[in-house]
Structure 1
Amino acid sequence: MDEDHGDARLAARIRALTGSRHPVAAAVVAPGGTRIACAGAGLDADFEIGSISKGVTGLLYAEALARGEIEAGTTLGELLPLGDAPAGQVTLESLSTHRSGLPRIPASAHPWRRTVALWRHGTNPYGEDLGQLLDQARGVRVGKPRPRYSNLGFELLGHALGRAAGTTYEELVRLRVTDPLGLDCFYLPATADQLRPGAITGTNRKGRPQEPWTGEALGPAGGIRADIRSMARLTEALLDGSAPGITALDPVAPLSTGARIGAAWVTVQIKSLTVTWHNGGTGGFRSWLGLDRATGTGVVVLAASTTSVDRHGFALLTGRDDDGRT
């Protein structure tokens, strides 16, 4: 495993917290400054951030509302060529809070077959382009509008937002997030050959390398890659309000017991602490980004393995170790 880079104390802390034999990076953003570290890879190593991509899509949704490009009641069918398919009647607002009635993954994508291939061979279970995604969406049945986590829903939401702005989702991310915030490594590879030189390979729990999760369709729900410096800068922008669509962080609906959701972002209460967060997981990576907005503190953890980093992120944010010690 490569040596540590960045803040030495933070690098030692994340090694101790995760016990990881694989690259892991963290950033701690506080009023007194930002600390970043990467253990096992350089600071320019980029990770799959998984479903934190949904948090980015949530920001873009709130920004599009503020710009008047869409309304909460705008439907998918107004922006995407879905014909008379039931999915065309789904509103963007319901998608942003996982209340659209759309399934997690469309049945036509053969999710069980793809999951088995992922388990056995580490293959990418996604990879569709936008045209293939729309074909899948046209055949989907829409269920009751209750809380139901949906990758399909956020894929469609992101691409609809791109259409509303007269561009693609990838370009929308660049124009409204990457460039304005100065994120040097924050991108959406559609194919594996678009990975940057600093891209690292994820591993499963047994340490086996996994194919990168790439695909045009996947982008809004889980296709962004970033290095820890860019994730720290994004966290700073979320805390100081300079990120686009910052109202996405504000909870507007119940999600589950003790949790509320804004546009993708989840808010929970931990004793006296209010935490706004999103996590992510792909075939070879795990990620977590959490904010204590009251104190202007945020934490990001990225790991090139499939062991969850959620509790480690919460531990860093609260200033406690996993056993409860300060």
Structure 2
Amino acid sequence: MPSLPLPARSSTVVALVTTAALSIGIHTAPGPSQLPEDAHGGRELTDLVLEIAGEDHRALAAAVVTPEGRHTTVIGTDHDSRFEAGSITKGITGLLLADAIDRGEVTADTRVGTLLDQLEGTPAGEATLAELATHTSGLPPQIPSRRQYLLNLWASWTGSFPYPSSTEDRLAEVAELAADSEPGTYSNVAFEVLGAALGEVAGQDYPELARDRVLDPVGLADAHIPTSPAELDRRDLLGEDASGRTVAAWAGESMAPAGGLRIHADDLAVLLSALLDGTAPGMDALEPRGELGPDRIGWAWITTETEDGRQVVWHNGHTSGFAAFLGVDREAGTGVALVSATGQWVDAAGWELLARSGEL
């Protein structure tokens, strides 16, 4: 069995992303749901996922791609149910940045203030697109305002969505920031700004840009990035927090580039294949450009060297009601994605699934 990093290592870099920001409180619900027995997919993968991830989830979806083919399973919900992918969306935004550079629209060193008038002449406006994409811009994890604190507090008590700002309002808040966080501070705000800047250059809002330049070219027919609950349909699951309480969907305009993607198991397999065979637009985003804790980072995508010397490119995600992990070993031609409709980290299970993918 190939040796992979301890799951704690894969989590520490991206921990404090949204869960810590939300300060999810203690609730009176009895605990997370238990998976029902119904499943859609191959028996071998279903059994492996249940063994690795356990049954304390409202629903699970997994995709595994190897040189021998694709495997998917969905447990506890319909096969076409869409799960929140959380910060895996940042990987899509990274692909968009690399694609915009390939098109000659921007460079890595383009200052964000030259693209967004609201930030011209501000500390945030001095940041380059590369700094936004590698968490070295000085922007904080979230807006450090009284309003955001109260939204987080209300979300912890009610399960509401804590990031309802418009892009325009978010940029107005960013314009007031000192942008003095330590380099390497994992920043949702930076990716909100990056998505807004790339959209401004293209003359599209972020969901349209992602659809036209990444989702459609890759073949992610059903994946989408809603900016309001009105854009959800029967395929879009509501998740549970760790206490078992159903929470609101994460669907907002400003946070879309940082955590808005919804996707089902088949499209996860398609995305893995495109990352493995290099057909996804903006593949240069996966190439490491700097350090992020013990690992390296490209445009959003993190590269971890395993104990046996393999290079795994990955990202994880976490919202109030969902957790996700996606990783690819491009040299081996193997990739996995695991998404839970319960807000408990699945990194450990994702790394183990990658290590044991050869069993399928």
1:55 and 2:102 aligned:
no
Does the 8 Å CA contact 1:290/1:300 hold for their aligned counterparts?
A: yes
The reply on whether 1:184 has 2:221 as its aligned counterpart is: yes
Determine the structure 2 residue equivalent to 1:64. Answer: 100
Distance 1:315 1:216, change over 3 A: same
* Distance verdict in 2 for CA 1:207–1:144, change over 3 Å: closer
Match among 297, 302, 312 for residue 339 of structure 2: 302
Aligned 1:149-298 pairs, distance under 5 A: 149-257=186-294, 259-272=295-308, 273-298=310-335
Question: Equivalent pairs: percent with the same residue?
Answer: 40
- Name the SS for the 2:117 alignment partner: coil
Is 2:60 aligned against 1:24? yes
| Residue 141 of structure 1: how far off its partner (Å) | 1.1
1:77 matched to 2:113? The reply is yes
Opposite residue 91 of structure 1, the aligned amino acid is T
CA contact (8 A) 2:218 2:281 kept: no
* TM-score normalised according to structure 1 size: 0.95
Count of residue correspondences: 322
**2:39 pairs with 1:4:** yes
CA RMSD after TM alignment: 1.7
8 Å Cα contact 1:109/1:136 also seen in 2: no
| Amino acid in structure 2 at the alignment position of 1:255 | L
CA shift, 1:85, in A, is 2.1
Distance 2:198 2:168 in 1: 16
- Once the two structures are TM-superposed, the CA of residue 27 in structure 1 deviates from its matched residue by 0.4
Q: Does structure 1 conserve the Cα–Cα contact (< 8 Å) formed by 2:217 and 2:281?
A: no
Aligned residue among 76, 80, 86 for 1:44: 80
- For 1:302 and 1:282, the matched residues in 2 are separated by 11
- Residue in structure 2 matched with residue 127 of structure 1 by the alignment: 164
5+ residue gaps, structure 1:
none
Instruction: Give the AA of the match of 2:353.
Output: L
* Structure 2: stretches of 5+ with no match in the other structure: 1-35
**Counterpart AA for 2:268:** M
Match of 2:352 in 1: 315
Preserved contact between residue 106 and residue 136 of structure 1 (Cα < 8 Å) = yes
1:319 Cα offset (Å): 1.1
Q: Which moved more, 1:83-92 or 1:236-245?
A: 83-92
